[in-house]
Amino acid sequence: MAILENKVAIVTGAGSGIGRAIALAYAKEGAKLIVSDINEEGGVETVNQIKKLNGAAIFFKADSSSIEDNRQLVEKAVQEYGGLHIACNNAGIGGPMGATGEYPIDGWNKVIGINLNGVFYGMHFQLQAMIKSGGGSIVNVASILGTVGTRFSPAYVAAKHGVVGLTKAAALEYANQGIRVNSIGPGYILTPLLTNNLDDATLEQIKSLHPIGRLGKSEEVAELALWLSSDKASFVTGSYYPVDGGYLAQ
């Protein structure tokens, strides 16, 4: 039997990269998917790929920084499939670069709105639905920058640190209600977020920061999310798991 058989799962930011890989991994293990993204074309493509695997999925366009979109997303999952058991809050942006003293205020607000507020809004409604469904698992996609800093990305670093802390707080609050909440910390992963914004020389420099000698693959992150979402991780909650090629070990 597939390890997510008869489970209903939401994945945000599932129109490409890590989110798409996680959605596909869930589908291969029997979950019914609500694929969410602000990018409708990418989200529909993810649904099409799931259906080619004979999986069940629908697309729901949502802006993760919108309270109402998050509420409707959870309602859609319950309406379509009868409950909610798994949620992966993955949607995120890199945002502008700049030193803290010169960082654009609108850029700060956008990054915090999507990368941190969006996770809180998602969990706010997901947790209520999971209680009614008898329990579940939430995986929040943080970053290696959820535990360490880097120059010129203050909003991103602050948001991802916040995701790690929010995960721990929620895990403690809902552990006795059958809901596990964990976060994962990808290193630099070869996704459109990276390749569309950085030149080859910069990518090579970033690659050198990882002791394993390469950038990560979305599928490698998805394997960790899949495990945390399944009953194989039944005694795991409130934890933060890097998947970073050794980056944080230095």
CA atoms within 13 A on the CB side of 23: 34
**What homologous superfamily does CATH list for 8-189+218-243?**
NAD(P)-binding Rossmann-like Domain (3.40.50.720)
Report percent pLDDT > 90 for the chain.
Answer: 94
Catalytic amino acids? 156
Q: Look-up: residue for tokens 């969410």?
A: 36
Domain boundaries, the chain: 8-189+218-243
pTM of the shown model: 0.97
Whether residue 86 contacts residue 26, with contact meaning beta carbons closer than 8 Å, is answered with: yes
Closest Cα to residue 96, out of 153, 161, 32?
153
- Tell me the per-residue pLDDT of 72-128, one tens digit each, with 9 for 90 and over: 999 999 999 999 999 999 999 999 999 999 999 999 999 999 999 999 999 999 999
- Tell me the per-residue pLDDT of 138-164, one tens digit each, with 9 for 90 and over: 999 999 999 999 999 999 999 999 999
Overall size of the chain counted in residues: 250
How far is the CA of 107 from the CAs of 96, 143, 156, 193, in angstroms?
6, 19, 10, 16
